[in-house]
Structure 1
Amino acid sequence: MSDSNINWFQSPWKVLAALGVLALLLMISPSLMEAGYFPTPGDVRAEANGNSMGAEVNEAVSANLDARAQGWLTSRVEPEPETLGRPEAADRESALDCLIRASDLIDVGSQTGGLIESIPVDVGDWVQAGELVVQLEADVERATVLAARTRASARGAFLSQEEQVALYSRRVERSSSLLDGKALSLEDWDKIQSEHRIAQHDLLRAKEERELAQFQLAQAEAVLKRRSLHSPVDGLVVARNLSAGEIVDDATILTIAQIDPLHADILLPATRFGGIRPGMRASLSLEVAQESRVIAEVDRVDPIIDAASGTFKARLTLTNSDRSIPVGTHCRVEFLN
């Protein structure tokens, strides 16, 4: 052993430094071998043996490195989306969610309280505009109408007053000739004229009473009409809150939904404000029947943008004459123009 080697091992600080370098090399050697800076133990053994097994190992290592390189390159190339070039995929991405609802919901109630006599409809029934849906007890009102109709049609008092006026008119004519011949006193003449005027006033009062009877008949019929509730629209009964025999005050008895036409509500981003206008047409894909599409038209655009969500509302109208589109279904909207 040389003097330099002896001096090296005899210095404790140099020994500690050598051990530190060796430990550092042992820690970083796996990373350096993986990066290719140092050969792996398999490569060393293959090279030392110099046999065919070493060659096969080298080929496997090269193939592995090539595969890694190829994977590294392909991992950085953006894959082409499967939907690229498919117009239907682009349309689906541009479609917006919507909700179909009834164009109107009518709560049927009574202006006056009373006992419910009958409700001839139930939930799920289709009703026509003007159809009777609730009948309240109305015996008193019917009797009032009969009495008013009788008074309005009574002509006895009116005809009697007409005849009285005609009688006094003839008496005035005869008395006038007697007055010219000095055969009638002025006192009797004044009495005859007064009786004639009183008869005319009585006839006028009879006419007014007859007209008043007509107004009372109309009032009684209006009160009776309030006891019968009719559907204001063509629609579907969606709720029934009371039954026959119950007392109604100001509560809702029935709820009728007008489902032709229908409305579809949609929320749009503020960036599309001004691009959506009333009259624009749109294609709707229904959640319950995705293979079928219906055409709707924008009839209202909310002029206010919600600051919190950055959206605004629009409403579309679509026909539902065959009542095949259910209320409450979700849909997707694609504007056509």
Structure 2
Amino acid sequence: MKSLPPALLLAWLAGAPMAATYDCVMDPAVVVEVGAPVTGLLDAVLVSRGQVVAQGDVIARLKSDIDEVSIRLIRMQADNRDEVAMHQARLDLALKRQARLTQLSERGVATQEQLDEADAAVDVAGRELGIARTRVQLMAVELEQAEALRAQKEIRSPIDGIVVERNLAGGEFMTQESHIATIAQLDPLHVEAFLPVSMYPALSLDQVIEVSPGAPIGGVYPARITAIDRVFDAASGTFGIRLALPNPGSVLPAGHRCTLEIPGDGG
């Protein structure tokens, strides 16, 4: 009969539950193949393999010369207030004439026809001023649209992570199917393991388990259970769990084997 290690023997003699060790794998929390919402010629790709990026960082740009010209043109039109000022002056003049004719009409000097013409002139001038103001507002919206279209030419990282692969370079054409780079989020890491069904009653969400990366990394790190499969694999008599392993600074690598230790083996 094989003898127990001293530590386990002492634990057994003391009546303490012995821990069970299981194999696991440390994977990236998220892997994103970054594309673009529009097609076009790449002006520059600003990242390389192994580079750390933050969410929102610009990682590539598409050619946007035409967009820049359109934005300058629309901005000039949106900033132009001459038409509004002209119609405002016409309305002010029509209001003064209307007020003067109203006074004359009250004294019986001006005719009703003249007063009606003055009222109509005020109405027309007011409508023309409203149309001019609406046109300025529409140009402002068109400017926002043009700037939004230009912003689509700047491709940004959707996550904090590390560039695993760069697929395109400046001068290449970006299609709807292609992607510029692959970015992996390494903080936290996802630890995946398959355990015997006998362990199911011993586990719960948010339970903390110690994870030991394989050589040459080593060390022991606490990880929290975030998912427990509720559908067992009948053929192997196992179920899967996922743990979140904090990895500040992305010190621990992903795609590496590990072991996790669960106290009190249920079977």
What TM-score comes out, normalization by structure 2 length? 0.91
**Cα–Cα, structure 1 residues 291 and 257, in superposed 2: closer, same or farther, change >3 Å?**
closer
The match for 1:219 is: 145
Instruction: Give the C-alpha shift of residue 305 in structure 1.
Output: 1.2
How far apart in 2 are the matches of 1:275 and 1:92?
13
Of residues 102, 108, 113 in structure 1, which corresponds to 2:28?
102
Q: Is 1:285 paired with 2:212? A: yes
Contact preservation (8 Å) 2:224, 2:245? yes
Q: What are the residue-to-residue correspondences of 1:226-245 with 2, within 5 Å? A: 226-245=152-171
Q: What are the Cα deviations for residues 115-135 of structure 1, in whole angstroms up to 9, with x where unaligned?
A: 000001111001112111011
Indicate the larger mover: 100-109 or 272-281: 272-281
Of residues 317, 321, 324 in structure 1, which corresponds to 2:244?
317
Q: Is 1:266 paired with 2:193? A: yes
Aligned length: 258
The match for 2:54 is: 128
Q: Give structure 2 stretches of 5+ with no counterpart.
A: none
**Cα–Cα, structure 1 residues 291 and 265, in superposed 2: closer, same or farther, change >3 Å?**
closer
How far apart in 2 are the matches of 1:162 and 1:265?
70
Contact preservation (8 Å) 1:280, 1:336? no
Contact preservation (8 Å) 2:33, 2:183? yes
Instruction: Give the C-alpha shift of residue 84 in structure 1.
Output: 4.6
Partner-residue secondary structure (3-state), 2:162: strand
Q: Is 1:144 paired with 2:70? A: yes
Q: What are the Cα deviations for residues 65-119 of structure 1, in whole angstroms up to 9, with x where unaligned?
A: xxxxxxxxxxxxxx4x243543299999821111001100111101111000000
How far apart in 2 are the matches of 1:291 and 1:216?
58
**One-letter identity of the residue aligned with 2:238:** T
Contact preservation (8 Å) 2:29, 2:189? yes
Partner-residue secondary structure (3-state), 2:117: helix
Partner-residue secondary structure (3-state), 1:111: coil
RMSD: 2.0
The match for 2:86 is: 160
How far apart in 2 are the matches of 1:100 and 1:84?
28
**Cα–Cα, structure 1 residues 243 and 316, in superposed 2: closer, same or farther, change >3 Å?**
same
**Cα–Cα, structure 1 residues 334 and 246, in superposed 2: closer, same or farther, change >3 Å?**
same
Identical-pair percentage: 28
Instruction: Give the C-alpha shift of residue 288 in structure 1.
Output: 2.7
Contact preservation (8 Å) 1:281, 1:335? no
* Structure with more relative contact order (C-alpha pairs < 8 Å, separation 6 or more): 2
Contact preservation (8 Å) 2:33, 2:180? yes
Instruction: Give the C-alpha shift of residue 230 in structure 1.
Output: 0.8
Q: What are the residue-to-residue correspondences of 1:5-16 with 2, within 5 Å? A: none
Contact preservation (8 Å) 1:172, 1:196? yes
Contact preservation (8 Å) 2:18, 2:263? no
**One-letter identity of the residue aligned with 1:318:** L
How far apart in 1 are the matches of 2:81 and 2:202?
71
Instruction: Give the C-alpha shift of residue 307 in structure 1.
Output: 2.4
**One-letter identity of the residue aligned with 1:122:** S
Indicate the larger mover: 322-331 or 285-294: 285-294
More helix by share: 1
The match for 2:4 is: 83
Q: What are the Cα deviations for residues 222-252 of structure 1, in whole angstroms up to 9, with x where unaligned?
A: 1000000011221100011111111111111
Q: What are the Cα deviations for residues 307-334 of structure 1, in whole angstroms up to 9, with x where unaligned?
A: 2322211110011113221111100001
Partner-residue secondary structure (3-state), 2:248: coil
**One-letter identity of the residue aligned with 1:253:** I
